[in-house]
A and B are shown apart, each in its own frame.
Chain A
C-alpha cells in the first residue's frame, strides 16, 4: 500500500482518549518568597534594585538578567501606578462566557522596570490606559502569600 491508498475518511480511524494528570506545587523561589511574604504580612509591593544597571525589577528577581549581578536590595514601589494597557475579558479560563466582562490591566510604576498584571477595579466602560491607580489588597487574615492577595488596582484619587 502506498501513502496514496490510505484511508481518507477519518471517521474510519479509531482514536484513543486519555488525560495527562499531574498536580503541581510551584515554590515562589528566593526572590519570590521575599515579595510574597512582604505582601502577605504587610501588604507591601517590593521591587529588586540592580545598582550597576540602575534598574529596579518588578516582580523582583534574585539576579539581574542584564549584568548577572546577584540582587539583594529590595525597595517598595511607589504608592500610585499607571495603567499601561487594558483588556476586557469576556470568557473565563475554560472558555465559558462571563456574566459581565472583566477588565484586566498591566500596571507600571515610576522608576520601576516591569510591572504587574492584575484586575482593574472599575466598570468595563471606564477601563482605559493612562489611569492613575493604586493596589487594593485583601484583609490580612485572608492573605496567603500569592498574587491573589492583591484584589486588584483601583483608581487613585489625587
Chain B
C-alpha cells in the first residue's frame, strides 16, 4: 500500500512562511501563573535546606531511608514513619556537561550537572544538582562529592541553598 500511494498528505511550511506571517495565523501568549503547594514533606525539606541540612523520611516496612523525603512509601504503599537527617556527602551516579542553557541557547562555559546519591539515604537515593571545582575532563561517575552551602543569610528554602557539589577532599569524611 505504501508502494502504491504517490502523494502523501501534509503541506510543508518554511520558517519564513510562519515567522513573516506569509500564512494567516494568530499569535498568543498564555498568562499562567502558579503557586505549587510544597506539601508536608517538601515543606520540611525546604525548611531544613534553609538551616543547612538534608532531611529524609523512613519506612519501617521496607527499611528504606527515602530521599527526597515523601509522606508515603511508593513501594509499600503506606505512610512513611519518621524523619531522619542524612549527610551532605555522596557519589556521582551520572552527569552531563551541558553547553545549552534552559532555553536551548548555547553557552560558552559548560554547566556540569547530574545526580548525586547521598550518604545516609538508601542506595541510589539522590537528587539532581550542579557540580563544580572540577573540569569536564575530571568529572566521573563514582566520584565522591560534598555539598557547598550558600552562607546562611543567602538561603531561601530552596535546592539552590546548596550552590553545588565539589570533590570530597583528602581527610574529609
Q: Is the CB of B43 within 8 A of A146?
A: no
Q: Which residues of B contact A (CB under 8 A)?
A: 11, 13, 18-19, 21, 23-40, 42-43, 46-47, 71, 79-82, 157
**Complexed CA–CA distance, A33 and B39 (Å):** 48
Q: Is the CB of B37 within 8 A of A17?
A: no
What's the least CB distance linking B69 to chain A, in Å?
11
Q: Is the CB of A1 within 8 A of B25?
A: no
- Other-chain residue from A13, A17, A22 in contact with B33 (beta carbon distance below 8 A): A17
How many A residues touch B, CB cutoff 8 Å? 33
**Do most interface residues of chain B lie in helix, strand or loop, or is the interface mixed?**
mixed
Cβ–Cβ < 8 Å partners of A22 in chain B: 29-30
What's the least CB distance linking B22 to chain A, in Å?
10
Q: Is the CB of A19 within 8 A of B37?
A: no
Closest A residue to B37 by CB, please name it: A15
**Complexed CA–CA distance, A146 and B24 (Å):** 7
**Complexed CA–CA distance, A120 and B101 (Å):** 48
- Other-chain residue from B23, B27, B32, B42 in contact with A23 (beta carbon distance below 8 A): B27
Q: Is the CB of B79 within 8 A of A13?
A: no
- Other-chain residue from B18, B24, B28, B79 in contact with A36 (beta carbon distance below 8 A): B24
Given A13-B37, A27-B13, A146-B24, the answer on whether A3 and B79 have CB atoms closer than 8 Å is yes
Q: Is the CB of A16 within 8 A of B27?
A: no
Cβ–Cβ < 8 Å partners of A94 in chain B: 31
Cβ–Cβ < 8 Å partners of A7 in chain B: 40, 43
Q: What 12 additional pairs, Cβ within 8 angstroms, besides A1-B79, A2-B79?
A: A6-B71, A14-B38, A14-B42, A14-B47, A17-B35, A18-B33, A20-B34, A24-B27, A24-B30, A25-B27, A26-B26, A27-B13
Q: Is the CB of B80 within 8 A of A12?
A: no
**Complexed CA–CA distance, A63 and B79 (Å):** 53
**Do most interface residues of chain A lie in helix, strand or loop, or is the interface mixed?**
mixed
Cβ–Cβ < 8 Å partners of B47 in chain A: 14
Q: Is the CB of A15 within 8 A of B35?
A: yes
- Other-chain residue from A12, A17, A20, A145 in contact with B24 (beta carbon distance below 8 A): A145
Given A1-B81, A17-B33, A20-B30, the answer on whether A28 and B38 have CB atoms closer than 8 Å is no
Closest A residue to B17 by CB, please name it: A27
Does A37 interact with chain B (Cβ within 8 Å)?
A: yes
Q: Is the CB of A28 within 8 A of B24?
A: yes
Does A67 interact with chain B (Cβ within 8 Å)?
A: no
- Other-chain residue from A16, A32, A40 in contact with B38 (beta carbon distance below 8 A): A16
Q: List 27 A-B contacts (CB under 8 A).
A: A1-B71, A2-B79, A3-B71, A6-B71, A7-B43, A13-B39, A13-B40, A14-B38, A14-B43, A15-B36, A16-B38, A19-B34, A24-B27, A24-B28, A24-B29, A25-B27, A26-B25, A26-B28, A27-B18, A27-B24, A28-B24, A28-B26, A32-B24, A36-B24, A94-B31, A144-B21, A145-B25
